[in-house]
Chains A and B, each alone.
Chain A
Amino acid sequence: MYHGYNEGVMPQTGALYCKGLVKKYADVTAVDGLDLQVERGECFGLLGPNGAGKTTTIEILEGLLAPDAGEVAVLGCRWSDDGAALRPRLGIQLQETQLADKLTVAETLRLFRSFYPAGPSVDELLETMELTAKRNAWVSKLSGGQKQRLSVACALVGQPELLFLDEPTTGLDPQSRRQLWEVLERFRQAGGTILMTTHYMDEAHALCDRVGIMDRGKLIALGTPRELVATLGAEHMIEFAIDAGRGPGDAELRALPGARDVRVTNGSFAIATSELHLTVPALLDALGRHHATLSQLSTHSATLEDVFVTLTGRQLRDE
């Protein structure tokens, strides 16, 4: 099952390492030959649409699922050899966990704290997660944001070296998200390593040193958010749609000054450009020549979302 990788090759220093990871369910290949390496102190984001295999990947790394093939090392240890010793060094937050409704916040934290040999006190955690006012409230009475903070608090309770977060801010209001980001930022400043999944591009931009974009079980891009956006060769995106009728052709759009890439999805056009101030007037001229009427026109700075669309031809969140 180790696919010819001998132990000597396995890096002992990295926080996470996996090679040739495969996981199949019945007729679906959820993870299809994934290679990944995360350094200590790094915040790494796995991005991708729903069903891309992010959760399966993170659960294999967490030792909750066994891969069908491939090699995994977490903090230099293998699950099969050192699983029991590894657990106390990790903090894990799962996507769908509902904590016990009728325990209070403090009781829940004390329970989780009791499983770990070391870690911050319950009071400290409450303070860090801004839950002190809710310490005696039942979990069922918490808001979505408070529940999520408690869930992350339970992951931090053992003073982990490596934190796994699966969609930690999904469904949260903007303020709750920012609160959580601050906590994660502090964790990282203290030297912690984070592996997180998200489908929020702004979250990846704000938190992650590097991101890997996953699609259909494979890693299709890897780098810092800045590097990935730079692969577009353009800092701006122009999106427009025209009323039925003749518009400029693909080749004509590509020939516009500054245009780097052109993409047509569902009748709307996207042009990646490095020189917005040249491309837009030229585009309007071209449309005029064809007597085409604009029904929509917008521009924005290129994001990871555009990287995904460019790589796959699909939107990230077409769920």
Chain B
Amino acid sequence: MDAQMKKGLLDVCVLNILKREDTYGYKITQEVTRFLETSESALYPVLRRHESQGWLETYTAEHSGRLRKYYKITAKGIIRLSEFIDELKEMKAIINYIIGGGDNG
């Protein structure tokens, strides 16, 4: 897949996962790599960037005797996600056109 496209999809996936529930790094990575073929270590920079953009925030909670960092989507992040999804919808129309054989249906 084109690297730029993958990048954008990675953003949508992360925000979408966090919209469902607050969760932690390992879990997010596992979820994302189910759909997208990407390096496990590629997620950390993405999470950091999302945090610096204000799309998500973090808090720590105890888990079996150690601290775990949880990620939580912000209002700004939700807005960004809906923008991403709108873009994807646009793309979907194009994909349908291409895969549907281009009969101008």
Partners in one complex: no
